Chain A
């Protein structure tokens, strides 16, 4: 059922499944999950705070049937808390997302140089 396997980054077949299906549909979902779990564990916010944000995000969802994405709601709740606590700003996130968007494929080093925005 939940045997431990080596992760094979190149093959979807190699990803672990619970009862035959992937727990995360896309890799970023697992990162968003891990961020919220780790930050709550470190005490940056309480799990209750996160859950309240998640409930509000889920309630505000207006996606069409079949297009609902739970971890987008999750990410929204996480962003909301981090913005509210002043840990990051909207500009921080958007600027970095913009950089990532224009980063050439295969480029995975992290900011050895400054970018002009």
Chain B
């Protein structure tokens, strides 16, 4: 048995994860209920709907929008969304001239309180590399073709800053309520790989 935890012949991940959980619960390091609680929370309760509500409020309430752009974490907390990976949320406002795109090249960090856990493509090495190298082409492949006169700004998330995009409010949404607006906002739009559209 080697002392190197990264040995190539270690057991498969599924077995190691189960082994760790059993050892830690048997030794009283963590309780199964606590563990289940975290998982349930992030699988069922915390998700992109939180972020969608933040965006919709910012669209209808100019004061809230100012606070959100000034202090993302604080304004998001006003709606009751807080927790790990939400300590330094910076909100990036899309305009007609500037489109913001979020990536985390180092470790796929993500603003959990507003978006839940990241989708697979966000963690993929191809997304992480190409978002920086060729964002316009990547976005087009993901279904978002931006005009050449729109500048793309790419933001690399880190332990210091978690970025979150405030998308453009779509044309044709003028008569909608805050709740109806929230229903239009997708996770992808808040990462910056999609635009918000009024459903036909």
Interface of A is mostly: helix
Q: B47–A48 contact, CB under 8 A?
A: no
Residues of A within 8 A of B10 (CB): 94
Residues of B within 8 A of A51 (CB): 107, 109, 159
Closest to A42 in B: B30
Q: A94–B18 contact, CB under 8 A?
A: no
Q: A34–B35 contact, CB under 8 A?
A: yes
**Central interface residue in B34, B36, B124, by most chain A CB within 10 Å:** B34
Which residues of chain A (21-45) have a CB below 8 Å from chain B?
21, 23-35, 37-42, 44
Q: A18–B123 contact, CB under 8 A?
A: no
Closest to A15 in B: B43
Closest to A27 in B: B14
**Central interface residue in A21, A38, A76, by most chain B CB within 10 Å:** A38
A115 at the interface (CB under 8 A from B): no
From A2, A37, A101, contact of B84 by CB (8 A): A37
Roughly how many angstroms separate A29 CA and B118 CA in the complex, as a whole number?
A: 13
Q: B47–A35 contact, CB under 8 A?
A: no
Residues of B within 8 A of A21 (CB): 119-120
From B3, B43, B124, contact of A90 by CB (8 A): B3
Which residues of chain B (129-177) have a CB below 8 Å from chain A?
159
Q: How far is the CB of B193 from chain A (nearest CB, A)?
A: 11
Q: A97–B11 contact, CB under 8 A?
A: yes
Residues of B within 8 A of A65 (CB): 125-126
Q: B187–A18 contact, CB under 8 A?
A: yes
Residues of A within 8 A of B126 (CB): 65
Q: B116–A2 contact, CB under 8 A?
A: yes
Measured CB to CB, the residues of A under 8 A from B are: 1-2, 4-5, 16, 18-19, 21, 23-35, 37-42, 44, 47-48, 51, 54-55, 58-61, 65, 68-72, 75-76, 78-80, 82-83, 87-88, 90-94, 96-98, 100-101, 110-111
